[in-house]
Amino acid sequence: MEKQITIKDIAYALHISTSTVSRALRDASDVKPETKKAVKALAEELDYQPNKLALSLLNKRTNTIGVIIPNLDYVLAAMVKGIDEVALEAGYTVMVCQSDESFGREIVNTKRLLDSFVDGFIVSVSSETKVFEHIKKIQNRKIPLVLFDRIIQNLNVPKIHLDNIEGGRIATQHLIDQGYKKIAILAGPENMGISNDRMEGYMQVLKENKIRVDKNLIIYCDFNQDYAREATKELLSMKYPPDAIFTISDRMAIGAMQAIKERGLKMPKDIGLVGFNNEPVTSLVTPSISSVEMYAYDIGKATAKLFLEMLHSDVDMSNEEIIIKPKLFVRESSQRTPTRK
């Protein structure tokens, strides 16, 4: 392995002090033009690379953003892509850490990014995260922080997220408009914010349409295809099974579809199905699956823009909250009546 060239090597070769080399490389006015020229020429010849960590400590900036996410599924990967695109254009590097839905790993990731002197944090919390001392530690150090997607509502931190209640509302209202009357929901893990908000939208619409909320039709399960498949089998084995299912993710919708097909039921005639996220797979399977679009890539871009605005602003943005409106894409799995033009 080749030895990395240092300021000392340049100083030794030119018979000048290291401080003179340092000042020459910074274009200091107290260094003679001929000395600057000699230093820069030799630095280029020897392929001298400055110590970026030392420079970042001197400037108190690393131009690095620490991003912590629960996983790298389709939705979060799209969000990270949006974050990275905006950050790269602004001259920043993104360091991404996955918590794998573990509160413990989220704590470790936070510490490692703090130790790496990132300029700030963009965080989506894990499903296990119930206490937020690690988030408050970032705040207490006056390090810029933005929460996205899975947020902490009672913390004064800039936030950006989907209107998940509205997403649950439009999915459920669509099913009712298509004539379905006994609508089940495959919710995510209990006490998870986005899951509860989507379910809240579901319950609001049932009540508004004078349909009784049946707790037997509410099943909590992980964002997992296999869990959703087994949960749907349970629903379809009921004495009076549902005639429609709303799943709060498309992975769950695929699992539900498998169970529906195994039962020999036809969509949308026998049973309707609506997912959430509008992942590409929803338009590729047969029948295609209706799904709520959450604009993940756009949320990622907006999150990075909000972070950069906060980073370079003297204005207190702790109460800033951006809410993205969802849209339902209606497909074969739930469309009993023709779409109006």
pLDDT reported for residue 341: 45
Tokens of 220: 């909590």
Q: Which domains does the chain have, with CATH numbers?
A: 7-50 (1.10.260.40), 62-160+296-324 (3.40.50.2300), 164-294 (3.40.50.2300)
C-alpha–C-alpha distance, residues 204 and 213, integer Å: 9
**Residue ranges in the chain whose pLDDT is less than 70:** 1-3, 50-60, 338-341
State the Rg of the chain over Cα.
Answer: 27
Contact call for residues 72 and 80 (beta carbons, < 8 A): yes
C-alpha–C-alpha distance, residues 54 and 18, integer Å: 15
Buried b / exposed e over 242-280, threshold 16 CB at 10 Å, is bbbbbbbbbbbbbbbbbbbeeeeeebbeebbbbbbbbbe
Tokens of 231: 């949960």
Residue 290's DSSP bridge partners are 274
C-alpha–C-alpha distance, residues 97 and 72, integer Å: 10
Q: Which amino acid is at 76?
A: L
The pLDDT tens digits of the residues spanning 257-278 come to 999 999 999 999 999 999 999 9
The pTM for the full model equals: 0.81
Q: Which amino acid is at 116?
A: S
Query: In the chain, what are the helix, strand and coil shares in percent, each to the nearest 5?
Result: 45, 15, 40
